[in-house]
Amino acid sequence: MTTQEFFDGLLDHVDLKVSDKERRLIETKQNELREKLREFLDLEDDFLTGSYRRNTIIKPRNPSEKFDVDVFVAFNKEDYENKDLAELRQTVIDALHNINSQYPELGISRINESQRRSVRVEFGNNFQIDVVPAIQIEKDVHYKIFDKRTLSAVKSNPKLHGELLTKANEHAKGKLVPLIKMLRAWKRQECPYVKSFHIELLAVEILGSSNFDSYSEGADIFFDKAREYAKSACLKDPANADVTIDDYLDDDGKRQDFINLINTEFQLSEEARKLESVGDEDGAVAKWQEIFYDEDEKTAAAIRSGNFYVGAGGVVVGNNDEQKYGRIESPRSYRV
């Protein structure tokens, strides 16, 4: 296997493949819902945002898990500026229940109010729409939104984030968005305490002006330059310089963990690049597999090949002599 084949396979594994039929259904549902929300709410703006809109969404771990489509609804500043998140959410909740009552043909199967920042609308399909309330400060420039983790109000602009990603991806000749998907999957496996948006913004910051011809080169550049960014809270929101995106790592006591991980991954990526440069593709792929791996997929592959045995403490992946993949706690099921 070549390095390029490895990354192509990795992308194929993590990429959420939405069929044309599914995409048309999503477009129909979100457009119909937004139209009704405009009818029932006094909105200044409404728009798609999030990883689905930016095309950086990745496949859920569980095949039965739904993926999110985020819709921002922005209220006017004059009437709603002093409203807190709870009041805005309740306003959205009331509107959604009225919409569902008056327009059953929309096909809403459930209005899930358990979200802390948004209200989830389910249709019985493989996707769900999260309606996220915000307040428009200046159209297309600033919106008062609420942090998903702290629920505190901040000024930002999701539209700008999408525009910057589009420009950076064009500069990278279409390679940045796929690489971000792979980095999101890496984050989910290796450092789930890191925000996905943090990884996306960091990738745009680092790779948006870099020149790289392959995923392996791009990943190596990312881990190299991320070492400096990891040292302290310094990643600013391009829509609001007063907001530091990565300061939560200090609040959560996770900065040193992130520093250590990035340093380790950079060492591995450098070794992989050196092996690739001398034509040792197998050696390079082995190094990349130490960075980008999926434990569940590795286990499923081992079960398919019969390379596992039942030990006293659970299922052990690998043969009885080597046990090189470690012990998997039982009970646990795998899709094979």
Instruction: Give the C-alpha separation, 182 to 292, whole Å.
Output: 8
**Separation CA 301–CA 286 (nearest Å):** 16
Question: pLDDT exceeding 90 applies to what percent of the chain?
Answer: 77
Pinpoint the alpha helices (H) of the chain.
3-14, 20-40, 50-54, 77-80, 85-102, 158-171, 176-190, 196-207, 215-230, 248-251, 255-277, 281-291, 295-305
pLDDT at 320 over 50: no
> What dihedral do alpha carbons 303, 306, 310, 316 form, nearest 10°?
-60
CB 283 within 8 Å of CB 236: no
In 3D space, the residue among 102, 139, 144, 103 whose CA is nearest the CA of residue 242 turns out to be 144
Confidence of residue 333 (pLDDT cuts 50, 70, 90): very low
| DSSP symbol at 107 | -
Q: Which of 159, 229, 215 is nearest to 15 (CA)?
A: 215
- Domains of the chain, each with CATH number or no CATH: 20-156 (3.30.460.10), 162-291 (1.10.1410), 300-329 (no CATH)
pLDDT for residue 149: 82
Which is more confident, 120 or 300? 120
CA distance 279 to 97: 61
Structure tokens at 84: 């807190």
The tokens describing 75, both together, are: 């209220």
Predicted confidence (pLDDT) at residue 10 exceeds the cutoff of 60: yes
Task: Report the distance separating Cα 123 and Cα 111, nearest Å.
Answer: 9
Question: In whole angstroms, what is the distance from residue 217 CA to residue 201 CA?
Answer: 19
- The pTM (predicted TM-score) of the whole model is 0.85
Which H helix or E strand runs over 241? strand 240-244
pLDDT > 90? residue 250: yes
pLDDT, average across residues 285-304: 71
- The half-sphere exposure of 271 on its side-chain side, counting CA atoms within 13 A, is 15
Decide if pLDDT at 308 tops 70: no
| Residue 81 near residue 135 (C-beta atoms within 8 A) | yes
Q: What are phi and psi of 171, to 5 degrees?
A: -60, -35
Closest CA to 298 of 3, 8, 10, 63: 10
- Per-residue pLDDT averaged across 112-126, rounded? 92
Give residue-wise pLDDT tens across range 231-248.
999 999 999 999 999 999
pLDDT band at 327 (very low <50, low <70, confident <90, very high): very low
